Amino acid sequence: MTDNIYTLIRERVLAALQAAVPDLPPELAARVEVTPTRDPAHGDMATNAALIAAKPARLPPAKIAAALAAALAQAPEIASAEPAGPGFVNLRLAPATLLAAIPAVLRAGEAFGASTTGHGKRINVEYVSANPTGPMHVGHCRGAVVGDALANLLAKAGYAVTKEFYVNDAGNQVAALAWASYWRYLESLGTALTEEEFAASVPGGLQYRGDYLVPVGVKLAEAYGASLAGPDLTVGDPASWLPVVRQFAIDAMLASIRIDLAELGVTFDRFSSERELLESGAPDASIAKLQADGLLYQGVLEPPKGKLPDDWEPREQLLFRSTQFGDDVDRPLRKSDGTNTYFANDIAYHAAKAARSDVLIDVLGADHGGYVSRMKAATKAITGGTVLLEVVLCQIVRVMKGGEPVRMSKRAGTFITLSDLLEFVGRDAVRFTMLTRKSDAQMDFDIDAAVAQTRENPVFYVQYAHARCRSVLRAAADMPGISIDPAASLDSLQDEAELAVVRRMMGWPRTVEAAAEAREPHRIAFFLYDLAADFHMLWNRGREATTLRFLQPDNLAYTQARVALVASVATVIRSGLQVMGVAPVEEMR
């Protein structure tokens, strides 16, 4: 069951190919494609079937193509089929087949394009997973949007999706957060210590000096008075205050992250806590399992070539044989103090996710690129190869304003927060713009362009097309005898600009399936831009020739067909925007 006409036509092609080349190996049949043509002169679709089959059949591609064309021309959906080029068969659909896309859209509504290619497989998408040590900044934003849209896309393609956020609430970073929060706490109580005096007593030095922790300090003081401080508001014994302050600060940071995410329209099915994972003993269980499988050993790693760390000394440590699973070097699981490395805990986390999933996807920032191969290796090892990890890497986003990069420095506390960006640009523009690039390509986010009300801004351009559709439909609603009717006769839709729009919409299910398989949500943005361009072009045809306008009061049958067309364009745009998490607008303001 699918809306994808390409799937249906491919069945026809395979049947014809089976007749022409009876003993075609199945693995070659899998390579047969039916694709949209680039050049409209080549018809609606083309297939490479003859090229694929030529070698095993020991026949010239052109000869097979001719046979295929003759057979395919008999199919009811196909108006004509012609061999072309080196061995393609170009197909032109029967008008009724083409126009059937319109009632298909109208009947399915925004669900149009939904597919079953995911077969209900459980797929877990982990994204954002920002450390709860500060507000979300623009660096997190791309991963948040890409992960969220990818999850929506996979759901539309028929996967059972879980959206997951991993809370790194254990380890040194959150300890540093606790110290920084404690400083703001003493400060709000009016301690005589200076910041530098305090910093001197912090193991590893005082981090997170941004003033976003000031309110946390104030709230700590309100909740606990001076009870967490030492004598005369000096630094008290960490053993007594640190666990309290740490949890308090983590909760505050998580609350702020959730607010920012909600503002961005990003939601999760599940938050998983690293601390809870540790307390459950899962990491030890994972290590024990790997040990039992003979994948761990005590060994000494070679130093990295070329760039030797200053304090390098050979050290024996517990290593995981990730090289057996495609990694470059084996990876350590224990620090010298006996505690687990982050990697060791993350193995347990991925094992936990794998236990309730068929496929895992991590959406990571580019700075985690070096982490990918070991995590894939570990996932393969801990699940015995039954669950594989895929990684979508999001490259750096450089925020531009007035043609200049906006400088960011987290250390100095002058970074652009996500909520700042949302205030400048707005949720829909942020989300759409973040999806106008392949995620593994670096990107400049131009604030000026994202709010521009012109064609160069794809958000605006697509929204404008939708608003124009709605404008027509509002006018149509006032016309007697006119309605959005899936059963309307569409025979009058014959203009090339009209058919171009229909062809584009016909490709939506195929785009969903291909984008989902490739894990590339940005394709949705490009599809919508192209559909919007087709529609704007058609619209303008109506300016030049009034006979091409949608609403003709003296010709109800003609108008009914165009109303159906316009309504289906609006529906497909909404269907795509829904995947992107962008709200359609009824009119431009």
Partner RNA sequence: GCGCCCGUAGCUCAAUUGGAUAGAGCACCAGACUACGAAUCUGGGGGUUGGAAGUUCGAGUCUUUCCGGGCGCGCCA
Q: Toward RNA, which CB reaches closer, 194 or 454?
A: 454
551 binds RNA (CB under 7 A): yes
Q: Which of 107, 119, 401, 455 binds RNA (CB under 7 A)?
A: 455
Query: Which ranges constitute the DSSP H helices of 73-128?
Result: 95-99, 101-108
342 binds RNA (CB under 7 A): yes
- At 21, phi and psi to the nearest 5? -130, 85
Q: Which of 51, 249, 435, 565 binds RNA (CB under 7 A)?
A: 51
Q: Which of 202, 505, 519 is nearest to 390 (CA)?
A: 519
Q: Which stretch binds RNA (CB under 7 A): 42-50, 118-126, 193-201, 575-583?
A: 42-50
Q: Which of 2, 80, 272, 395 binds RNA (CB under 7 A)?
A: 395
- Write out the binding residues for RNA, residues 480-509 only, by CB under 7 A: none
Q: How many residues bind RNA (CB under 7 A)?
A: 106
Cα–Cα separations (whole angstroms), residue 466 to 414, 472, 531: 38, 10, 10
Q: Which of 72, 76, 63, 64 is nearest to 90 (CA)?
A: 72
Q: How far is the CB of 51 from RNA (least distance, A)?
A: 4
Q: Which of 4, 17, 69, 88 binds RNA (CB under 7 A)?
A: 88
Find out whether 510 and 588 touch, Cβ atoms under 8 Å.
no
352 binds RNA (CB under 7 A): no
Q: Which of 7, 234, 419, 471 binds RNA (CB under 7 A)?
A: 471
Which residues touch 89 (CB under 8 Å, ≥6 apart)? 13, 46, 47, 49, 50, 65, 68, 69, 72, 81, 82, 83
362 binds RNA (CB under 7 A): no
Q: Which stretch binds RNA (CB under 7 A): 21-29, 134-142, 194-202, 468-476?
A: 468-476
- Write out the binding residues for RNA, residues 177-216 only, by CB under 7 A: none
549 binds RNA (CB under 7 A): yes
Q: Which stretch binds RNA (CB under 7 A): 190-198, 238-246, 427-435, 464-472?
A: 464-472
Q: Toward RNA, which CB reaches closer, 370 or 402?
A: 370
Q: How far is the CB of 229 from RNA (least distance, A)?
A: 26
589 binds RNA (CB under 7 A): yes
Q: Toward RNA, which CB reaches closer, 3 or 187?
A: 3
275 binds RNA (CB under 7 A): no
Q: How far is the CB of 404 from RNA (least distance, A)?
A: 13
Q: Which of 392, 280, 278, 265 is nearest to 344 (CA)?
A: 278
Q: Toward RNA, which CB reaches closer, 221 or 268?
A: 268
406 binds RNA (CB under 7 A): no
Which residues touch 494 (CB under 8 Å, ≥6 apart)? 95
Q: Which of 13, 110, 28 is nearest to 65 (CA)?
A: 13
Would you put residue 204 in left (φ > 0), alpha (ψ -120 to 50) or beta?
Answer: left
Q: Toward RNA, which CB reaches closer, 31 or 270?
A: 31
Q: Which stretch binds RNA (CB under 7 A): 9-17, 99-107, 141-149, 466-474?
A: 466-474
Dist. CA 423–CA 392, nearest whole Å: 28
409 binds RNA (CB under 7 A): no
Dist. CA 249–CA 251, nearest whole Å: 5
Q: Which of 497, 181, 173 is nearest to 342 (CA)?
A: 173
Q: Toward RNA, which CB reaches closer, 319 or 422?
A: 319
Would you put residue 519 in left (φ > 0), alpha (ψ -120 to 50) or beta?
Answer: left
Q: Which of 94, 301, 352, 451 binds RNA (CB under 7 A)?
A: 301
Q: Which of 2, 14, 33, 247 binds RNA (CB under 7 A)?
A: 33
DSSP 293-307: TT-EEEEEPPPPSS-
Q: Which of 39, 484, 63, 421 is nearest to 264 (CA)?
A: 421
Q: How far is the CB of 547 from RNA (least distance, A)?
A: 11
320 binds RNA (CB under 7 A): no
Q: How far is the CB of 88 from RNA (least distance, A)?
A: 4
How open is the CA angle 360-363-369, to the nearest 5 degrees? 105
Q: How far is the CB of 210 from RNA (least distance, A)?
A: 17
Residue 83, burial from CB neighbour count under 10 angstroms (0-12, 13-18, 19+): buried
Beta-strand pair 122-126/160-167 = parallel
> Going along 144-282, which residue ranges are E strands?
160-167, 270-273
Which two tokens mark 394? 């999001």
332 binds RNA (CB under 7 A): yes
Dist. CA 533–CA 464, nearest whole Å: 10
61 binds RNA (CB under 7 A): yes
140 binds RNA (CB under 7 A): no
Q: Toward RNA, which CB reaches closer, 18 or 555?
A: 555
436 binds RNA (CB under 7 A): yes
- Write out the binding residues for RNA, residues 509-548 only, by CB under 7 A: 510, 514, 517-520, 522-523, 526, 529, 533, 536-537, 539-540, 542-544, 548
Q: Toward RNA, which CB reaches closer, 219 or 536?
A: 536
Find out whether 459 and 468 touch, Cβ atoms under 8 Å.
no
Write the interaction track for RNA spanning residues 214-243; mark x where CB under 7 A is met and - where it is not. ------------------------------
Q: Toward RNA, which CB reaches closer, 209 or 536?
A: 536
Question: What end-to-end distance do the CA atoms of the chain give, in Å?
Answer: 40
Dist. CA 267–CA 269, nearest whole Å: 7
Q: How far is the CB of 17 from RNA (least distance, A)?
A: 13
User: How many Cα atoms within 13 Å fall on the side-chain side of residue 383?
Assistant: 24
Q: Toward RNA, which CB reaches closer, 221 or 364?
A: 364
